[in-house]
Structure 1
Amino acid sequence: MKLESKYFDSIRVGSKRQQGAKKETRAPACQWKGCDKPGAHKAPKGRGRDGEYFHFCVDHVRQYNQDYNYFDGMSDAEVSSFRKDALTGHRPTWKTGANAWAHGTRDEARNAEAAERVNAATARVTRKARSSRTETAPTFRRQLKPLERKSLKVLDLGDDASREDVKSRFKELVKIHHPDANGGDTRSEEKLREILQAYNYLKQSGLV
C-alpha cells in the first residue's frame, strides 16, 4: 500500500493498553460473608456438587480449604466403601481373566494414585475424629494466683481440682459446718463463713 493512499489515513491501530484492557476480565466478588475483596480463587462446594465452586479472595480460600472435609457427613461404612471403589477409579470390576482393557478400566498407575489420595484423606479424617474423642481440656489453663490456691486449700482441694470437684466439695462442707447441724456452734459458723468466701472468690475468678 502506498503511503499517500487515501485508505492509509483510515487505518486505526489500538494501543497495547486498550488491547490489554479488553482481555482483562474482572474477578467476581468474594462470596465470604462480609468480604468485599475480589474472589479470584475457586473452592469446591463439596461432595455431590462436583464442578461447582465458590469464589473467594486469597485469605478466605485458605481458611475454607483448611476446614474443608470431603467426607463430612459420611459414616465409617460409607468412607470405607468409598476407599474400596477408589481403587478401581469408581468403575465396575470383573473377575480375574476378564479383559479389563475391553471394559475400559484405567491402568494400574492411575488407580494406585487415586487410592493413595483417598487413603491420605481418610487417615486425616480418622486422626481428627480420634483426637476430638480422646482429648480432654485441662481444668486450669493458666497458673493459679496465690488467693486462688489458698481458696482451694480452704475447700481441702489441690491445684488440679476441676469445676465439678469444687462444687461437690463446697456442698459437702456446707452441710457439715452449717449451724443447724452443729447446735449453733460459733466455730462452725466461722468455718462456714470462710468456706463461703473461698467459694465466691473462686467463682469470681472463673474457676467455678
Structure 2
Amino acid sequence: MKLDSKLFDGIRIKPASGKTAARPAAQRCAWAGCEAEGTHKAPKGRNREGQFHHFCIDHVRLYNKSYNYFSGMGDDDIAAYQKDSLTGHRPTWTMGVNSAGEQRERVRSHATRDWSGGVQDPFDMFDGTAGRAREPEKPKRHIKTLERKSFDTLELNGTETSVEIKSRYKSLVKIYHPDANGGDRSYEDKLAEIIQAYNFLKAAGFC
C-alpha cells in the first residue's frame, strides 16, 4: 500500500501533516424560504422512486403529514397496485399450466393433425387409420372399475368402438411422445399410463 495514499491517510489515528478530512457541504432544506440544513430525506413520490427531497426536521414532519403515494390514482388503480404489490409487481401465472386438462385440449385440437414425415416412427405407432373399413360394433357390456379407469386415462367414456379406441390411443401417443415434444421427456409417466391403459383394454377385448 502507498503510505501517502488518501485512503491510508483516512484511517490514521492522527492524519499526517495535520491534514483533516474535508466535511461535505451541507445541503439546504428544500422547503421554500427555509435556510436551515436539509438533514432529513423524504421520497419525491410515485414514479420517482429512489429520488428524495432534503428537509430540515420541522419541514420533513410537515411533508410527511401530507404525503400520499397514491395521489392522483383512482380507487380501482389503487386496488390493482396493492394486489400486484403482493408479488412484488412481478408477473404471475395461473396454477395448473401444462396440466392434464390443458393437454386434453391439445389432444382435441391436434387430433386431426397430420404427423406423417415429422416424427420418426420405427414401430409404426403413428400410422393413420383413414380409409380403413370400420369394424362392426360389439354389444355393450358392463365396464368394471379397472376398465373404467383405463377409459378415463384415454379420455374416453367406454362406448367407443375398437377403431375409436385405437385412434384415441394413437392421438394421445402423438401428444405425449418425446419425439413430438422436441425430445422433452417430462411426459414419459403420462405416456406410460396411456400405453398401460390401452394394453389393458386390448387384453380385455375392447380393441
TM class by smaller structure? 0.3 to 0.5
Superposition TM-score, scaled by structure 1 size: 0.37
Superposition TM-score, scaled by structure 2 size: 0.38
User: Taking CA–CA contacts closer than 8 Å with sequence separation of 6 or more, which of the two structures ends up with the larger relative contact order?
Assistant: 2
